[in-house]
């Protein structure tokens, strides 16, 4: 577990400097899905207790950029959004959006 945490920290540190906003958001969605997601018939459900601002901070971006990219992901069929719940419908597609960081 400690090795995993260190690897995640190193990857996250690299992301803040090297990745685009889209890649950082996709990466954070995948990371959250792997840690907290619940598999359902709709996909992987993330019922986040985070505010949009907190989620934006995780991805080192601003709320407006987060909202824009989440809307893009939704229109591409990668996710669905229902209030604070985000459903990952296409994890492989999100992994591609995250670049080589997953």
Q: In whole angstroms, what is the distance from residue 17 CA to residue 50 CA?
A: 23
Residue 13 within a domain: yes
**Domain that includes residue 60, residue range:** 2-97
pLDDT (tens digit per residue) in 44-86: 999 988 899 999 998 889 999 999 999 999 999 999 999 889 9
Into how many domains does the chain fold?
Answer: 1
Residue 90 within a domain: yes
User: What CATH number is attached to the domain comprising 39?
Assistant: 1.10.10.10
% residues pLDDT > 70 (the chain): 79
Query: Coil, strand or helix: which one is 43?
Result: strand
Say what the pTM is.
Answer: 0.80
At residue 6 the predicted structure's pLDDT band, cuts being 50, 70 and 90, is: very low
The chain-wide mean pLDDT, for the chain, equals: 85
């Amino acid at each position: 577990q400690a090795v995993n945490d260190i690897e995640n920290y190193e990857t996250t540190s690299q992301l803040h400097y090297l990745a685009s906003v889209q890649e950082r958001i996709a990466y954070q969605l995948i990371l959250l899905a792997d840690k907290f997601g619940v598999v359902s018939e709709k996909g992987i459900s993330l019922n986040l207790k985070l505010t949009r601002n907190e989620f934006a901070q995780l991805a080192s971006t601003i709320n407006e950029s987060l909202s824009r990219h989440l809307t893009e992901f939704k229109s591409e069929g990668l996710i669905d959004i229902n209030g604070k719940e985000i459903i990952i419908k296409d994890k492989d597609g999100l992994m591609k959006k995250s670049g080589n960081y997953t």
